[in-house]
Structure 1
């Protein structure tokens, strides 16, 4: 039986890439019965019914999967955040980073629309970028208008599956159009009333960019920590995780415990106060979550 990778899912059909050819497939009823949904990024075994159509018979083991966007086997998440329009949000970025870290996906922070910034904006964005670089993250500052930073992004895409994710209106589709001008992906202006963009991407699809596969995804409307326990959160903040090794008590949640090295690091400026505040906010959110049954 032929094998391939799902590169697009649309209206009940799955488009499987196999030996440089794309086959339109449906999922067998057994998937619905077992409550398993094929996802973009899945490695599958399929049966060919005719020259272009077939049925997916088996789904390979996944190394990870995301719910929003629905995609599997992601190597890297490119978190696209605009410097302005909409304004840069460390709270939203940290929420994305936690979910990406929890799913063992390498994050790359890409800050767009730098051409629209004032001198004060640029100073603030550069300060934040330095904080995230100090925490161990790769950060690129880009503009699709001036093409600054665009070529720096290309080497990060080679030979892996990357997902472009971020708030609506930050320029994900514009960034992909800059990387591959022939795509002509639809973009949309920011709503002056809402301060965010309209959803211009309606489905998940893997696109060949710079010898890698990149997923353009619908914008996110909500991000919840449904599967993350309080004890897991520490590992999703790299600088907090490293400093936690110096805490007096094992299993320290860096909240009310005495002789906490993380709290000391915040007080002396080693860890940015806003990162620690977001950790605290997320920890409380997880503690307040209704129990799962």
Structure 2
């Protein structure tokens, strides 16, 4: 284990054995590290001490069992005097550092020209602050390891690059009022999360609506809905309460999801009313 800024850090994340591409990439990088270390005559323990990590972790990285962080690769490049060749492998590693399902979702969101999302139990991941995301993920039972928590938080935040795209996609959110009132992570984390919602809700390409608690009619009781539309006119959608929760591109099934999502949007508060409610909640904290 390494020490950075007084905090103990891990050199990377466990490799998902079911992620064929990820396994291949990390195995190749690990092999390159081992060959270069052996070429300069360094033992694993000696190398680990030089880069600030334990011998066991060095073997895991070189054996393709651990996904190295960028800092690990940079330190290895310096110690082995690789002239930037090891550091450059980060371009491949960073593409597989997140779980396969998250990568696939991020890829779709990165291609979509229109994103529609209804979230019923939590604040949508695309809207979460780092602190809020960490609190939500850490609350899972059975609990994730600290290492897995950080990996999942980092992956969730990486998806938020969708807000930086140019041209910007049209993004629509509908959130339930109840999760907005739940102070997950404590008062300061909660306040920052509400402030983040206001920031994003005021972006020119974002529409943010809240489904009020006092709504007498509600078409979103079956759970989360997400609909993504692409430049070529195709679309993909998923709902917790339809089609076994699986993603679908079937036109008939997409029409059902779009009908449900459109009804939910009509039943929710208007964008202006929604932002006013969030401001009210912020003022009450």
TM-score, normalised relative to structure 1: 0.26
Bigger helix share: 2
The one of the two structures with greater contact order (alpha-carbon pairs below 8 A, sep at least 6) is 2
Rg bigger for which structure? Answer: 2
